[in-house]
Amino acid sequence: MDKKQQSKNGPKKAPKKPQSNKKIVKIRIPLGPRFLVNFLTTIIIFLVLVSVYSSIAGTESDIKEVSISEIATSVSLGEIKEITVKGDKINAVLIDDSKIKSVKETGSSLTDTLVNYGVKLDEIEGLSIKVEDDSNFWLVALNIGGFLLPLLFIGFFFWFLTRQAKGQGMQAFTFGQSRAKIIDPNDKSQKITFRDVAGAKEAKEELLEIVDFLRQPKKFLDIGAQIPKGVILMGAPGTGKCIVGDSLVLTNKGLIEIKDIPKYFWVNPKNNDVKGAILPTFDVIRVRDTDQEASHWYDLGMQETKKIILQQGVEIEGTYEHPIVVMNEDGYLEFRKLENLKEGDSVAIKFGTGAFGVSNEVNSEQSYIMGLLTGDGNLSHSSRIGFTSVDEELVSSFKGYIKNNYPDTPIGLATDGITHTVTSWAVKKDLYEAGMSYLLSYDKVIPPFIMQAPKHVIIAFLQGLFDADGYFSRYSFGYSTVSKKLSDQVMITLINLGIVPQRRLKNEKDNKHPRPVYEITVSGTELEKFSREVGFRLTRKQEQMVKYLDEHNTGNTNVDVFFHISQIVDRSWRELSDKGLSKEGLSKLAHKNRTRKRISRQTLTEFIDAFKINGLHTEDTVYLESLLRSNLFFSPVSKIEKGYSRVYDFTVPKTHSFISNGLISHNTLLARAVAGEAKVPFFSISGSEFVEMFVGVGASRVRDLFKLAKKSAPAIIFVDEIDAVGRVRGTGVGGGNDEREQTLNQILVEMDGFEQNEKVIVMAATNRPDVLDPALLRPGRFDRRVTIDLPDIDDREAILGVHVRNKPMAEDVALRIIAERTPGFSGADLYSLVNEAAILAAREDRKTVSQYDFIRAIEKVLLGPERRSHLLSKKEKEITAYHEAGHALVASVLPDTDPVHKISIISRGRAAGYTLHLPIVERKFKSKKEFIADLAVTLGGYVVEQLVFGDITTGPSNDLQVATARARDMVTLYGMSDSIGPVALESDSGRVLFGNAPGSKDHSEKVAGEIDAEVSRLMREAKETAHKIVTENRALLNIIAKSLIEEETLERAEFDAILRANGVTPKRDVDPILENVG
């Protein structure tokens, strides 16, 4: 369903209420001519003040600001002709007359600062340096003016609003004010009615009672009927707040790409439950780390995305609504959606998490050699391994490893004189099994076994990689690669170890560089951590770095800073100063940092130590100390890009966050239509917006929201994602007395406090009704539940009609046919389908969207994009063709299966080929015969590989998982086992129900053994059925497979023609169950 943008403006005037004894205060701001004149006068005065201030301040703010290390580099390269120093500020004029500015280290002269960054004295002597006094009148005036003018204007503006509102509106400006978006029923641009919501017929009929009550309450009250106080909407999620598949996620098994989670953890394909995935998370409210087991993992298909790139080079790509942690303008942590981020926003990088795996497939010695080979090795020639180096220490390490582990293997020297070669399949096989690739420069990666290994094994690999390809130059460590994936892995691994590197695009792809080059550097305070945690094994490189660190102070580099917290620090310092406990040095430091937008980690440490020594313990000091100890590094957003990618997501209970790419990631329409239909004010808020860091704020916002709604009654309050605050109480680690539970308690109190004639209805939405607190669902609260099912064919046609509005459609578009081919699609899936079809048309430079675009889009949404570049060998192509032919043949011969719609051996998504089945008639039930037939069809490819090739590949692995899960459901959920009988032995896939512990068994170990035996029997019988069909129709199997090898794709008409030519009747357009009814 579409979501139209919601206005933040409240209704201009609330609808009239029946007379009561209660006194109602109405606040009204007059909008007459005098108001407009006063308002325009205020704006003009403000613009004049800004202009005057700008003319005095000059254009210094337009000068590009760079780090002091970049200034030092430019001096060394002779790119700067003049430098002006004012206090700690540096203004430089380049050779091309462009200007840059920076800030030097406090308390150090410019010369000392440049020398600390590796500039030679003779390079400084040829430089024109001017020192200006920063204590002149204009500087003081500018500092005072920059501080006072905004305050004066803000004070005047609020005084003006207060005067216009006659003093009654100021009570709204409170911290506990509700953040609900208010929709005016008279605003036509915001109005949504049931006509705008396609499908969901039964849900709309249920909600019409709500509409009727709000329109004609007297009719219900006269007869003694009471409309439910709360209505909860339940349904499957349509989209998620997700990130792209190559995002690296920290887990208890190490660093894993989020798309590969099912490879390393058990994921239930039916409801996306994930077992055993324990993730490091971050509690933004309490500003602390914790570990939490994820409950669900989702693959949510192709969606529009935004990529955020930080100044440090860290990046993340996710859906527009995907939130990450930032430092807001008030100096507090908050989740902010990617769509709301802008350049300059301060994003938190979580370093030093220390999440490592326990895989022992590779030891430290082998890991180091794998690092060396990843840097300067080659495995692309048959059984040969090559290591290219002129460094005797590295060559000795390589030769020593081969001699110690493969004593009979000779080591040769290539014709170039520097490449040392080993020709041995045994050695190469061991490296392949450990995860090594061909080591082509552009596809180098850290092998998976290394990524999931303990800390010492990961460090050994990095040391080998850096010994071979890393360098230490002047004042920083550096490493360059053309492999984007390897640079991502190195970046996130270093961050996990507690080192925050910087990455830049050293060379873009052009005529000189066939591939972009990514350079990772470590300098300043991070260089000390790097030397301590990783460093080099190669003696000359390590000695060079240690010598630099011994001779230079790598303290405050003005890079590791906290943004926007100056006012919080100043507030705490004033409390200390008022008690006479602030010493002169601390007072000077406070004065210097008062107007700054950022404070360094070193300076914040000094403040925290002073606060602790003097016994100052307030909410501010507790927050600042938590922030300092939280291992967060803040980096501004430098670039934002749009994209379109396959996205994935986790559900992490309690903290609702996980670490991805080093960043902290977080995990309506029907209700609004009810308000539009009833023509009443609509208050919309997300459940997560109630909860704040401070205890009591959530409850205060609940009170304020209900107060506003009662004043505007009749009205609707809509709480989206109510499971954010409405989960079962008392089940968390911290007990029952937390902010979320206080918020929930206040919601319950407010709903109990409704009078019968108050005409306020609370609606809520969730896709996790199983985790809600039972108190929310008892009579008198959310006692009406409306389930929104997946749309049927008529609903899908109607939804498609809504989504194709304002899109140019070709004459051949038939929405009914598209609806027939999309069973099981949700409203969000259909939106994605229409969008994908439009993208395909635009990509091919056509002005209208055709039926062919929709057909291709269906397959793309279902199976993923075609991967024609994923070429199969001749043998693999033959195996894939026979595999898919096996599925199709079994499905065509068995009576209780859906007809084959399409067969292809063109790779899509993760599959090398696919067989697409679509039902002729949509059904709500599935019979035992159909389940058994489906098992045989699913095993058809497995059976054919055994029969035709005498061997089994990894191709049927997903088929086996799907078939086994289906057979287990038959036995444990649906009572379809003859030996065990009609008993439901498991709850719905082990999901939590009203606080019950997950994973608890509902049967004994003996019964568990019987279940396993019954599942094996079903699988064995399905295999025998498939084997019999394939054996009896071997000639037809060969024909289908050969046709696939030649054509690559067979549509339904072509496949049916092959069946008829060989004596098999294609499926008729009659449902096999309904055929025998009556």
- In sequence order, the β-bridge partners of residue 664 are 659
Read off the amino acid at residue 469. D
Longest Cα pair distance anywhere in the chain, in angstroms?
103
Tell the burial category of 163 from Cβ atoms under 10 Å away from its Cβ (0-12, 13-18, 19+): exposed
Q: Alpha-carbon distance 1024 to 900, whole Å?
A: 21
- Rounded Cα distance between 449 and 357, Å, is 9
- φ, ψ of residue 296 in degrees (nearest 5): -140, 150
∠ CA(224), CA(227), CA(231), 5° rounding? Answer: 165
Q: Which residue bears the tokens 């500003």? A: 287
Find where tokens 């004070």 sit: 155
DSSP of 185-237: TT-GGG---GGGS-S-HHHHHHHHHHHHHHH-HHHHHHTT----SEEEEEE--
Residue recorded with tokens 């305050």: 151
**Which positions make up the binding site?**
883, 887, 959
Query: 386 has which bridge partners?
Result: 378, 421
Q: Is the CB of residue 760 less than 8 Å from the CB of residue 713?
A: yes
- The string of DSSP letters for 43-84 reads HHHHHHHHHHHHHHHTTGGGSEE--HHHHHHHHHTT-EEEEE
Is-contact 484 518, C-beta < 8 A? Answer: yes
Query: Cα separation of 214 and 682, whole Å?
Result: 12
Q: If you search the block for the tokens 């596809």, which residue do you land on?
A: 443
Cβ neighbours for 128, distance < 8 A, ≥ 6 positions apart: 81, 82, 83
d(CA 934, CA 931): 5
User: What's 1002's DSSP letter?
Assistant: S
Helices (H), 352-508: 364-376, 392-405, 425-433, 448-451, 455-469, 484-496
Tell me which amino acid residue 583 is: K
Is the distance from CB of 337 to CB of 322 less than 8 angstroms? yes
- Rounded Cα distance between 793 and 787, Å, is 18
What are the counts of helices (DSSP H) followed by strands (DSSP E) for the chain? 35, 39
Q: Residue 634: which of 351, 348, 333, 311 has the closest Cα? A: 348
Pairing state between β 99-103 and 64-65: parallel
Q: Give the residue ranges of the annotated binding site for Zn(2+).
A: 883, 887, 959
Q: What is the DSSP string of 283-304?
A: ETTTTEEEEEE--EEEEEEEEE
Contacts of 1075 (CB under 8 A, 6+ apart): none
Give, in order, the Cα–Cα distances in Å from 775 to each of 54, 656, 731, 742, 779: 59, 23, 14, 14, 9
- Cα separation, 910 vs 928, in Å, equals 30
The CA distance from 643 to 339, in Å, is 12
Q: Is 884 a catalytic residue?
A: yes
Question: Which pair of tokens denotes residue 114?
Answer: 């440049």
User: Cβ neighbours of residue 476 under 8 Å, at least 6 residues apart?
Assistant: 69, 521, 522, 523, 527
Active-site position among 105, 317, 677, 884: 884
Q: In the Cβ-directed half-sphere of 120, how many Cα atoms lie within 13 Å?
A: 7
Tell me how far apart the alpha carbons of residues 752 and 342 are, in angstroms, rounded to a whole number: 42
Q: In whole angstroms, what is the distance from residue 197 CA to residue 243 CA?
A: 28
CA distance 295 to 274: 6
The SS3 call for residue 665 is strand
For residue 870, give the 3-state DSSP assignment: coil
Q: Which residues are catalytic, by number?
A: 884
